[in-house]
Amino acid sequence: MHLRTTRGVRAVSLLAATASIGSLTLASPAQALIGDVAAGNTYTFTAKIQIGDGDTSRACTGTLINNQWMLTAASCFADDPAQSETVTAGAPRLKSVATIGRTDLTTAAGQVRDITELVPREDRDLVLARLATPVSGPSFLHPTATAPATDEVLKGAGYGRTDATWVPDSLHTGDFTVGAVEATTVGIDGAPVCKGDTGAPVFREKDGRPELVAIASRSWQGGCLGSEETRTGAVATRVDDLRAWITESTASTLNVWNLQMLTKTSTGLYHSMRNSNGDWTSFGNVQTKTGTVEDIQFTADAAIKGKNYVFAVGGDGHLYQANRRVTGGWAAFRDLTAELGDKPGLTRIAVTSTGTGLALIGLANGRVYHATQDASEVWSKWGDVTAKLGVLGNATQVTVAHTSGGQTQVGVTADGKAYHGIRESDGTWSDRWRAVSSLETNLTSAVNGMSFASVASDLQVVITSVTGEKKHAIRKADGTWSKFGDLGDELGRDTIVGVDATAVNGELQAAVVTTDGKIKHTVRHADGKWDATEVVVGYPGTPEIVALTGSTQ
Could you please report the per-residue DSSP string of 459-525?
EEEEEEETTS-EEEEEE-TTS-BPPPEE-HHHH-S--EEEEEEEEETTEEEEEEEETTS-EEEEEE-
DSSP annotation of 337: H
- CATH no. of 3-247: 2.40.10.120
Residue 263 — φ and ψ, nearest 5°? -135, 130
| Buried b / exposed e along 370-407 (16+ C-beta atoms within 10 A) | bbbbeeeeebeebbebbebbeebeebbbbbbbbbeeeb
What is the pLDDT, as a whole number, of residue 35? 52
SS3 248: helix
In this structure, are residues 446 and 463 in contact, taking their beta carbons and an 8 Å threshold? Answer: no
Region class of 10: left (phi > 0), else alpha (psi between -120 and 50), else beta: left
**Over the stretch 163-210, which tens digit does the pLDDT of each residue have?**
767 777 889 999 999 999 999 999 999 888 888 999 999 999 887 789
CB atoms within 10 A of CB 529: 12
DSSP state of 530: B
Mean pLDDT value across residues 490-499: 94
Residue 349: how many CB atoms within 10 A of its CB?
Answer: 23
- How high does pLDDT run on average in the chain? 89
Q: What backbone torsions phi and psi does residue 135 show, to the nearest 5 degrees?
A: -110, 155
d(CA 366, CA 386): 9
Rounded (5°) CA angle 299-304-306: 95
pTM for the structure as a whole: 0.85
Beta carbons of 270 and 283 less than 8 angstroms apart: yes
Residues of the chain with CATH 2.40.10.120: 3-247
The backbone torsions φ and ψ at residue 386, rounded to the nearest 5 degrees and listed phi first, read -60, -35
Burial of 190: CB neighbours in 10 Å, binned 0-12, 13-18, 19+:
buried
Q: What band does 39 get if pLDDT is binned at 50, 70 and 90?
A: low
Q: Which regions of the chain carry the CATH code 2.120.10.80?
A: 254-552
Which CATH architecture best describes the domain 254-552?
6 Propeller (2.120)
pLDDT for position 229: 79
Q: What is the pLDDT of residues 122-158, one digit of tens each?
A: 999 999 999 999 999 899 999 999 999 999 999 999 9
- The single-letter DSSP state of residue 160 is S
Q: What pLDDT digit, counting tens, does each position of 378-414 carry?
A: 999 999 999 999 999 999 999 999 998 899 999 999 9
Q: What is the pLDDT of residues 314-338, one digit of tens each?
A: 999 999 999 999 888 999 999 999 9
Q: What pLDDT is recorded for position 14?
A: 36
Please report the pLDDT score of residue 358 as a whole number: 98
**What number is the average pLDDT over the span 31-42?**
56
Strands 458-465 and 470-475 come out as antiparallel
